[in-house]
């Protein structure tokens, strides 16, 4: 009887299995769409009558769609990933193996994160190439922006994983995450801004730091679906901490919920 | 030594009491059949033992470890098959077995060999690289058995392993399970099929409405309920006179004829194994029956089952 491998090894096995070819079509499709999006954004910005005057503003504007595609990529991939064992009943097989549920969800999370990570990387590569081509330089702060975008991806996945672990339904997880990130939080943010209060603790506000880097981004770039945003730039350090806290709490809760969920 | 134990194991689904204070102790090397009607709590018991669901009250232990709190240690030496398993549809049996094998700590090339062996054993070798979505129910069930025995566990928990199989498949699973029992493995086997249970298991746990009604060796239960049955097949149907002679034999309580033209007799009698042997001698000697087969009948277990469930 072989001894069970370490948790870390098991996580590695799960990540590999979850990221393997089962989803390659959707991964390739997503990469293609993101690549296409970066080309379109470049064309729009280049053809725009008021072309951004500096590389910083160009990059900041270019990166605006990350607010859309990070949640979409996370919901698209992770929604089913976290709930598949419950929904398609494969849990009867996997849960009866000597694997801790926390290990299983960690593996699934990393596989989803890998997917989101590559989506972000592709878009940032698009941004770097366009900025370099048009301005001959790339702002240093783009690396900080990338780190924040990655962190934002983790936090968004946290929402999807939490709702998925509680409901056991991919559709519910995706819909709830979408509503929270595109409706509830932006509405709350808009309301608080109207009251003259900076909603620094809201994930969507903190995520505004992603394209408001270098202190040169245009005010209002975090506006989502026309909702009002805070006109001053969010503090990137504070934003990073807020996003990190969101991630830690959401992922911690999703592990708790995943461990307690009955495989009926 | 007890390898599977439940202590006051209780599970509620909302207001529905699925399992009520179940106490079971299964010793190493035993094959226990978990019997009961639909909704009796068989699958709930098995899911609790495999750590798929959490008990409302009480504990389940595998080798003294609670699978709900430490599944990694508890399930290391266990192979489970729960209901008709559902596999990752876009994967092949080999990929699935490699994945599960790696999670269990098997390494190549041993894993490759073992996966091959298991697929051969369940007759899926030629489908090893076919996607599971193309499989029939029976093939999926066989793959479920392959994954359960992949790591050669000493404990097997099988929930309706013959479900969805054709008669050949059922027989194959029965023979395979018998062989595993013969190798000294501990088997907990849930089934509706009394014949299969009688053939494979030495002990049965009868549950209904979440409560344990009886847990004993099949022989003991038959003794307790005073039900001993043999099924006898004769070359030709016996004459009325021969049947009357059998009915008049002292230990015989009842006699039923069955089969094509009545060449199968089911005799319910009082007594033990010696009485059974004497009955056999009497049939062959004084009554002159030409016997083709003489075996304990599943009817006895059925009687016990029905009496307990109806009570």
The verdict on a CB contact (< 8 Å) between A90 and B53 is no
Query: Chain A: residue nearest B106 by CA?
Result: A2
Confidence of residue B86 (pLDDT cuts 50, 70, 90): confident
B14 vs A60, A84, B17, B309, CA distance in Å? Answer: 52, 24, 8, 24
Min Cα separation A246/chain B (Å): 27
The tokens for B90 are: 């876009």
Asked if omega into B109 is within 30° of 0 (cis), the reply is yes
More confident residue, A180 or B303: A180
Q: What is the model's pTM?
A: 0.82
* A112 secondary structure, DSSP code: H
* Cβ distance of A93 and B147 shorter than 8 Å: yes
Residues of A with CB under 8 A from a CB of B: 1-5, 7, 10, 13-14, 17, 21-22, 88-101, 103, 260, 262-264
pLDDT band at A21 (very low <50, low <70, confident <90, very high): low
One DSSP character per residue, A233-264 reads PPPHHHHHHHHHHHHHHHHHHHHHHHHH----
Q: Would the CB atoms of A1 and B154 count as touching at under 8 Å? A: yes
Report which secondary-structure segment, H or E, holds B21: strand B16-27
Per CB-CB distance under 8 Å, the chain B contacts of A26 are: none
pLDDT at A102 over 90: yes
Q: In this model, does residue B222 exceed pLDDT 60?
A: yes
Q: What is the 3-state secondary structure (H, E, C) of B60-127?
A: EEECCECCCCCHHHHCCCEEEECCCCCCCCCCCHHHHHHHHHHHCCCCCCHHHHHHHHHHHHCCCHHH
Minimum CA–CA partner of B92 in chain A: A22
pLDDT above 70 (res A24):
no
| Contact criterion met (CB below 8 Å) for A213 and A131 | no
Nearest-Cα residue of chain B relative to residue A263: B52
Q: Is the pLDDT of residue B47 over 70?
A: yes
Describe the crossing of helices A236-260 and A101-135 by its angle, rounded to 10 degrees: 150
Count other Cβ atoms within 10 Å, centred on residue B58: 17
Contact A223, A232 (CB under 8 A): no
* Distance of alpha carbon B16 from alpha carbon A209, whole angstroms: 51
With an 8 Å Cβ cutoff, are A90 and B86 in contact? Answer: yes
CB contact under 8 A, B71 and A98: yes
Q: Do A14 and B154 touch (CB under 8 A)?
A: no
Pick from B36, B41, B64, B60: nearest CA to B50: B60
Q: Do B80 and A264 touch (CB under 8 A)?
A: no
**For residue A125, what are the contacts with CB-CB under 8 A and spacing of at least 6?**
A38
- Which candidate in A97, A105, A264 is best for mutational testing of the B interface (most B CBs within 10 A)? A97
Interface test with B, best of A3, A92, A94, A107 (most B CBs within 10 A): A92
- Is B72–A89 a contact, with Cβ atoms under 8 angstroms apart? no
How high is the pLDDT of residue A156? 93
3-state secondary structure of B186: strand
Q: Which of B67, B68, B88 to mutate to test the interface with A (most CBs of A within 10 A)?
A: B88
CA distance B249 to B237: 19
Where does the pLDDT of residue A116 fall: very low under 50, low under 70, confident under 90, or very high at 90 and above?
confident
Bridge pairing between strands B211-217 and B203-208: antiparallel
- Return the bridge partners of B32, or none: B188, B203
pLDDT band of residue B115 (cuts 50, 70, 90) is very high
Summarised one tens digit per residue, pLDDT across range A127-177 is 888 888 888 888 888 888 899 999 999 999 999 999 999 988 888 998 999
- Contact residues, chain A, for B115 at CB < 8 Å: none
pLDDT more than 70, % of chain A: 88
Beta-carbon contacts below 8 Å between A and B: 95
């Amino acid at each position: 009887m072989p001894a069970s491998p370490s948790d870390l090894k098991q996580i590695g096995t799960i990540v590999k299995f979850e990221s393997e070819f089962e989803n390659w079509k959707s991964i390739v499709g997503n990469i293609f769409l993101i690549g296409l999006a970066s080309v379109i954004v470049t064309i729009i910005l280049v053809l725009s009558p008021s072309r951004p005057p500096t590389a910083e503003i160009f990059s900041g504007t270019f990166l605006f769609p990350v607010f859309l595609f990070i949640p979409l990529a996370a919901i698209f991939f992770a929604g089913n990933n976290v709930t598949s064992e419950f929904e398609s009943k494969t849990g009867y097989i996997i849960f009866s193996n000597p694997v801790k549920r926390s290990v299983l969800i960690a593996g699934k999370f990393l596989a989803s994160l890998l997917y989101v990570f590559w989506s972000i990387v592709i878009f940032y590569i698009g941004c770097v190439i366009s900025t370099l081509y048009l301005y001959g330089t790339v702002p240093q702060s783009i690396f900080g922006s990338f780190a924040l975008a990655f962190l934002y991806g983790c936090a968004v996945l946290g929402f999807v994983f939490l709702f998925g672990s509680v409901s056991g339904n991919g559709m519910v997880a995706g819909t709830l995450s979408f509503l929270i990130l595109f409706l509830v939080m932006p509405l709350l943010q808009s309301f608080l801004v109207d009251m003259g209060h900076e909603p620094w603790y809201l994930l969507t506000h903190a995520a505004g730091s992603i394209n408001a880097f270098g202190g040169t981004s245009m005010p209002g770039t975090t506006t989502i679906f026309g909702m009002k945003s805070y006109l001053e730039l969010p503090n990137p350090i504070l934003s990073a901490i807020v996003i990190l806290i969101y991630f830690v709490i959401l992922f911690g809760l999703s592990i708790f919920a995943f461990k307690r969920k009955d495989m009926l | 030594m007890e390898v599977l134990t439940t202590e006051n194991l209780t599970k509620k689904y909302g207001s529905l009491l699925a399992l009520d204070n179940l106490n079971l102790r299964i010793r190493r090397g035993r094959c226990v059949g978990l019997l009961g009607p639909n909704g009796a709590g068989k699958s709930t018991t098995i899911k609790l033992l495999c750590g798929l669901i959490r008990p409302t009250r009480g504990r389940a232990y595998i080798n003294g470890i609670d699978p709900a709190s430490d599944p990694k240690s508890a399930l290391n030496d266990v192979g489970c098959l729960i209901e008709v398993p559902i596999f990752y549809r876009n994967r092949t049996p080999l990929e699935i077995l490699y994945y599960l094998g790696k999670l269990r700590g098997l390494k190549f090339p041993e894993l490759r060999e073992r996966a091959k062996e298991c697929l051969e054993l369940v007759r899926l070798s030629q489908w090893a690289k076919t996607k599971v979505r193309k499989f029939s129910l029976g093939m999926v069930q066989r793959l479920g058995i392959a994954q359960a025995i992949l790591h050669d566990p000493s404990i097997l928990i099988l929930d309706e392993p013959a479900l969805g199989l054709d008669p050949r498949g059922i027989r194959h699973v029965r023979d395979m399970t018998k062989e595993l029992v013969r190798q000294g493995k501990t088997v907990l086997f849930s089934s509706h099929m009394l014949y299969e249970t009688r053939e494979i298991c030495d002990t049965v746990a009868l549950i209904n409405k979440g409560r344990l009604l009886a847990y004993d060796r099949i022989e003991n239960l038959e003794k307790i309920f005073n039900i001993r049955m043999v099924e006898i097949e004769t070359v030709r149907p016996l004459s009325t006179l021969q049947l009357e002679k059998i009915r008049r034999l002292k230990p015989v309580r009842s006699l039923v004829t069955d089969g094509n033209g009545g060449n199968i007799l089911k005799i319910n009698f009082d007594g033990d194994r010696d009485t059974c042997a004497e009955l056999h001698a009497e049939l062959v000697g004084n009554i002159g029956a030409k016997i083709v087969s003489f075996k304990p009948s599943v009817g006895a277990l059925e009687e016990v089952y029905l009496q307990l469930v109806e009570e």
